[in-house]
Amino acid sequence: MAGKSGRSIKAEQEVSFKKLILSWEGALFILIILLNIFNASISPSYTVTNILREMPKYLAEILMMFPMAYILVLGDIDISVGSIVCLCATMTCFISNAGAPAIVTYIGCLAVGLICGMVNGAVATRFPELPSMIITLGTQIIYRGIAEISLGSGGSVSFNDTKKIMPLSKKIGPVPVVLFVVIIAAVIFTVVLAKCTFGRELYAIGSNKLSAFYAGVEVQKCRFIAYSLLGLMAGACGLFLTAYMYGANTTTGQGFEMEVIAMCVFGGIATTGGKGNLIGAIIAGAIIVLLRIALGQINLNSQLILVIIGAMLIIAVLIPGIQANLKARRKLKQAR
Partner 1 sequence: MSDSEYILELKDITKIFPGVKALNRVQFQLKRGEIHALMGENGAGKSTFIKVITGVHAAEEGHMYLEGEEVHFKGPKDASKAGIAAVYQHPTTYPTLSVAENIFMGHEIIKNGMIQWKEMNRQADELLSKLHANFKSTDEMGALSVAQQQMTEIAKALSTNAKIVILDEPTASLTANESEELYRIVEKLRDDGVSVIFISHRFEDMYRLASRVTVFRDSQYIGTYDVDKITNADLIKAMVGREITDMFPKPDVKIGEEIFKIEGLSRTGFFKNVSLSVHAGEIVGMTGLVGAGRTEVMEAVCGITKPDEGKVFLNGKQLKIKKPSDAMKEGIILLPENRSTQGLILTWGLGRNVTLPIQKKLAKGFFNDIKKENELARDFLEEVDKGAVSIFDPASSLSGGNQQKVVVAKALAQDNMKVIILDEPTKGVDVGAKAEIYAIMGELAKKGYAIIMISSEMPEILGMSDTIYVMCNGRITGCLNREEASQEHILSLSMEHSDKKKEAAQ
Q: Which stretch binds partner 1 (CB under 8 A): 3-11, 86-94, 146-154, 294-302?
A: 3-11
Nearer to partner 1, 53 or 331 (CB): 331
Compose the 26-65 pattern: x for residues touching partner 1 by CB under 8 A, - for all others: ----------------------------------------
Within 139-158, which residues bind partner 1 (CB under 8 A)? none
Binding residues for partner 1, how many (CB under 8 A)? Answer: 37
Tell me the CA distances in angstroms from 251 to 58, 85, 89, 108, 237, one per residue in order: 16, 10, 11, 21, 15
Interaction between residue 213 and partner 1 (CB under 8 A)? yes
Tell me how crowded residue 322 is: count the other CB atoms within 10 A of its CB. Answer: 10
**Does residue 85 contact residue 106 with C-beta atoms inside 8 Å?**
no
Stretch that binds partner 1, among 73-81, 112-120, 174-182, 203-211 (CB under 8 A): 203-211
Q: Which of 197, 299, 301, 303 binds partner 1 (CB under 8 A)?
A: 197
Query: Taken in order 28, 282, 62, 289, is the CA torsion positive or negative?
Result: negative
* Residues with Cβ within 8 Å of residue 8, at least 6 apart in sequence: 1, 2
Q: Would strands 247-249 and 156-158 be described as parallel, antiparallel, or unpaired?
A: antiparallel
- Using the rule CB under 8 A, which residue among 9, 103, 149, 172 binds partner 1? 9
Least distance from partner 1 to the Cβ atom of residue 220, Å: 9
**Interface with partner 1 by CB under 8 A: which range of 9-17, 109-117, 227-235, 245-253?**
9-17
What is the rounded distance in angstroms from the CA atom of residue 66 to the CA atom of residue 221?
19
Specify the residue, 199 or 285, whose C-beta has the smaller distance to partner 1.
199
Give the residue, chosen from 216, 301, 303, 321, that forms a contact with partner 1 under the rule CB under 8 A.
216
Q: Is 37 exposed, middle or buried (0-12, 13-18, 19+ CB in 10 A)?
A: exposed
User: What span, in angstroms and rounded, lies between the C-alpha atoms of 230 and 79?
Assistant: 11
Q: Which amino acid is at 194?
A: A
Instruction: Name the 3-class secondary structure at 278.
Output: helix
Instruction: Among 183, 196, 298, 307, indicate the residue that binds partner 1 (CB under 8 A).
Output: 196
State the Cα–Cα distance between residues 228 and 234, nearest whole angstrom: 10
Query: 3-state DSSP call for residue 247?
Result: strand
Binding to partner 1 (CB under 8 A) within 163-192 occurs at 192
Q: How far is the CB of 329 from partner 1 (least distance, A)?
A: 10
CB of 203 to partner 1, least distance (A): 8
Q: Does 198 bind partner 1 (CB under 8 A)?
A: yes
For position 16 contacting partner 1 by CB under 8 A, the verdict is: no
Q: Tell the smallest beta-carbon distance from residue 13 to partner 1 (Å).
A: 6
Q: How many CB atoms lie within 10 A of CB 149?
A: 9
Under the rule (CB under 8 A), what is the footprint of partner 1? Answer: 1-5, 7-13, 192, 195-198, 200, 204, 207-208, 210-218, 274, 328, 331-332, 334-336
